[in-house]
Chain A
């Protein structure tokens, strides 16, 4: 079965299978074998790859894996095939306004149930000392406002959910 990780917005498909001294990793058209990982105490381990032993520091937070090798840190998101499907369905029939970057809600201009037209101001957010206005992508009605004024949110967080039909 193919699995995928996302790094900086790029998808990497891979396939892991067992082999004699550990595992075999297929990455696109490249095969790397054998590879092995031995855990050590608190967030430490050793990766064996291409006959080399690489000390690794790592931390796992849900689907996010933070891996540090040779002084370089990489953040990988494990894309669970089942979960990806579920979240797509959940949002069907709804429009969402997402946060372009992490920030804080400065002002909410609309309330749930309110009809809105395309381009209307939904919310003002602040990030890096700059205020940005989040506007409605099209006509509809406000379904839900996910953050109150003063609350902070992460990048890609859903700020406002809109339903397509005006009530």
Chain B
């Protein structure tokens, strides 16, 4: 049995991921402490933790980003380690450094790894230098005089991007090389307008790309393993909605290649703790996209098929333990799918929704896991990310998993705050999803899935509402039956 050097862990996060971390800490016999902003005072994570310490901020989000308050709370709780969860400060190298300087173990990679992978160009160059595949590209700065000819050499289709870019601004797709000159001029002018920087780079454009990522774990003794892949191609606005493993798109040979590439990148980076290497996959080829240096939202699908508790491994690795297994010990069994339940209305452009949760009942059954951060009676506000829970299923095959997820979403009862549950159900019943033919543009290409059927019959809902509304029922009861009948005939 691996021994831990601490007995208390501070969780610098909230919602479902905080609950999920507390569950593992309990299993390991470790005390959990949590920081919380007042708006979260009555949430499950705060109620479950052994110790809860209030923090404040100009906005609720700013409280969870206040490293000084969080480190003070960790000291106050006598925490020997800190788990950042995902989002907030989880990929902030300066925070990781400050935590370590306070004598507290940071449950994550080294600050150097966070820095390396946090800078997208540096990360890409690092991966390329170590001999792994990145999308073929031409960077203008390398040699401005030969930029266009280097770009032409890559061959169509190409993507022209401003170097300073982000959020898709200024990007141009070039399908015929004779339009490359125009695309460069347009992208440069947009780059100047949006970012005050006209420098460009060009890379191979992957048509209808799929998003495939690989979970890795590394220890301080140079051991790195991968825990196979996850596919997260169902996305809206660059945010994942449904994730699964194994990917229906990979052949056994490609799976082995992509997973070994991920482990190789992590090994080259001397990576410690849990991380995820993300790839773009299309046309039988995959290219490094980025590495996330933290636990991912979608980690439960990997846990379902491998039987490995990733948070427990993170805790042991942060305590300086050696990995408890080698690559050959890792087996994947069956198929797992996760769907993200969000307080938002896909039917109205994914606008966030709010409200008090009046009734909450989760489905249960074999191979069904719910990671939830909400309670009945809780107010859902727009202060945070709209994701409120995850429904994860595990079945022998992909089609059985999709059916189980569909049934689980249909059985879920959440009244009081509009959610994306019906939308999730529509994806899980969609032919393209069921046949595994999705790519990152799938939801944009099929707007009817988000729109739903607005023309559907509301009679049963209106009948129920009328019968449940006292003034309506009272005014109906005040009309003698005979008169009511006459009233109808007169029409």
User: Contact string, A1-28, partner B, CB cutoff 8 A, digits 1/0?
Assistant: 1010101100010101111100111110
Interface residues of B in 388-420 (CB under 8 A from A): 410-411, 413-416, 418-419
Taking a contact as CB atoms under 8 Å apart, the answer to whether B354 and A102 are in contact is: yes
For the complex, give the distance between the alpha carbons of A127 and B353 in Å: 11
Taking a contact as CB atoms under 8 Å apart, the answer to whether A67 and B471 are in contact is: no
- Chain B residues whose C-beta falls within 8 Å of the C-beta of A60 in the assembled complex: 468
- Chain A residues whose C-beta falls within 8 Å of the C-beta of B414 in the assembled complex: 73
- Chain B residues whose C-beta falls within 8 Å of the C-beta of A57 in the assembled complex: 359, 413, 415
- Chain B residues whose C-beta falls within 8 Å of the C-beta of A154 in the assembled complex: 354-355
Question: Which residue of chain A has its CB nearest to the CB of B487?
Answer: A17
Partner of B454, one of A8, A24, A58, A103: A8
Taking a contact as CB atoms under 8 Å apart, the answer to whether B481 and A19 are in contact is: yes
Question: Which residue of chain B has its CB nearest to the CB of A52?
Answer: B460
Consensus secondary structure, chain B interface: helix
For the complex, give the distance between the alpha carbons of A135 and B14 in Å: 33
With an 8 A cutoff between CB atoms, is B381 at the interface? yes
For the complex, give the distance between the alpha carbons of A67 and B460 in Å: 10
Taking a contact as CB atoms under 8 Å apart, the answer to whether B476 and A128 are in contact is: no
30 contacts between A and B (CB under 8 A): A5-B462, A5-B466, A7-B458, A16-B475, A17-B484, A17-B488, A18-B477, A23-B467, A25-B462, A27-B459, A31-B488, A32-B463, A37-B464, A43-B359, A45-B468, A47-B464, A49-B460, A58-B415, A61-B356, A66-B416, A67-B464, A68-B415, A71-B425, A73-B418, A74-B458, A75-B418, A101-B382, A104-B383, A126-B59, A149-B59
Partner of B464, one of A20, A58, A61, A75: A58
With an 8 A cutoff between CB atoms, is A56 at the interface? yes
Question: Which residue of chain B has its CB nearest to the CB of A74?
Answer: B461
With an 8 A cutoff between CB atoms, is B422 at the interface? yes
With an 8 A cutoff between CB atoms, is A165 at the interface? no
Interface residues of A in 106-155 (CB under 8 A from B): 106, 126-129, 149-150, 152, 154-155
Question: Which residue of chain A has its CB nearest to the CB of B381?
Answer: A152
What's the A-B contact tally at a CB cutoff of 8 Å?
171
A89 to chain B, nearest CB (A): 20
Partner of A25, one of B353, B466, B487: B466
For the complex, give the distance between the alpha carbons of A152 and B60 in Å: 9
- Chain A residues whose C-beta falls within 8 Å of the C-beta of B348 in the assembled complex: 8
Q: Which residues of chain B have a CB within 8 Å of any CB of chain A?
A: 39, 57-61, 347-348, 351-356, 358-359, 381-383, 385-386, 410-411, 413-416, 418-419, 421-422, 425, 454, 458-469, 471-473, 475-477, 479, 481, 484-485, 487-488
User: Could you say which of A17, A19, A37, A152 has the most chain B C-beta atoms within 10 Å of its C-beta?
Assistant: A17
Taking a contact as CB atoms under 8 Å apart, the answer to whether A73 and B469 are in contact is: no
Partner of B461, one of A7, A20, A152: A7
- Chain A residues whose C-beta falls within 8 Å of the C-beta of B58 in the assembled complex: 106, 149-150
Taking a contact as CB atoms under 8 Å apart, the answer to whether B461 and A127 are in contact is: no
- Chain A residues whose C-beta falls within 8 Å of the C-beta of B385 in the assembled complex: 129
State whether A24 and B484 are in contact (beta carbons under 8 Å apart), knowing that A49-B460, A57-B413 are contacts in the complex. yes
Question: Which residue of chain B has its CB nearest to the CB of A20?
Answer: B481
B197 to chain A, nearest CB (A): 22
Taking a contact as CB atoms under 8 Å apart, the answer to whether B463 and A76 are in contact is: no
B36 to chain A, nearest CB (A): 15
- Chain A residues whose C-beta falls within 8 Å of the C-beta of B381 in the assembled complex: 102, 104, 152
With an 8 A cutoff between CB atoms, is A159 at the interface? no
For the complex, give the distance between the alpha carbons of A74 and B347 in Å: 13
- Chain A residues whose C-beta falls within 8 Å of the C-beta of B347 in the assembled complex: 8
Question: Which residue of chain A has its CB nearest to the CB of B454?
Answer: A8
Taking a contact as CB atoms under 8 Å apart, the answer to whether B488 and A24 are in contact is: yes
- Chain B residues whose C-beta falls within 8 Å of the C-beta of A30 in the assembled complex: 459
Taking a contact as CB atoms under 8 Å apart, the answer to whether A59 and B458 are in contact is: no
User: Contact string, A82-113, partner B, CB cutoff 8 A, digits 1/0?
Assistant: 00000000000000000001111010000000
Besides A64-B355, A65-B465, 18 other A-B contacts (C-beta < 8 A): A7-B461, A8-B347, A12-B462, A18-B484, A45-B464, A47-B467, A54-B460, A58-B415, A59-B415, A59-B416, A67-B461, A76-B461, A101-B382, A102-B353, A102-B381, A102-B382, A104-B60, A150-B60
A83 to chain B, nearest CB (A): 11
Question: Which residue of chain A has its CB nearest to the CB of B357?
Answer: A59
Partner of A152, one of B39, B356, B419: B39
With an 8 A cutoff between CB atoms, is A167 at the interface? no
For the complex, give the distance between the alpha carbons of A126 and B60 in Å: 11
For the complex, give the distance between the alpha carbons of A43 and B385 in Å: 29
For the complex, give the distance between the alpha carbons of A72 and B454 in Å: 12
State whether A16 and B421 are in contact (beta carbons under 8 Å apart), knowing that A66-B358, A73-B414 are contacts in the complex. no
A2 to chain B, nearest CB (A): 10
B342 to chain A, nearest CB (A): 11
For the complex, give the distance between the alpha carbons of A37 and B460 in Å: 11
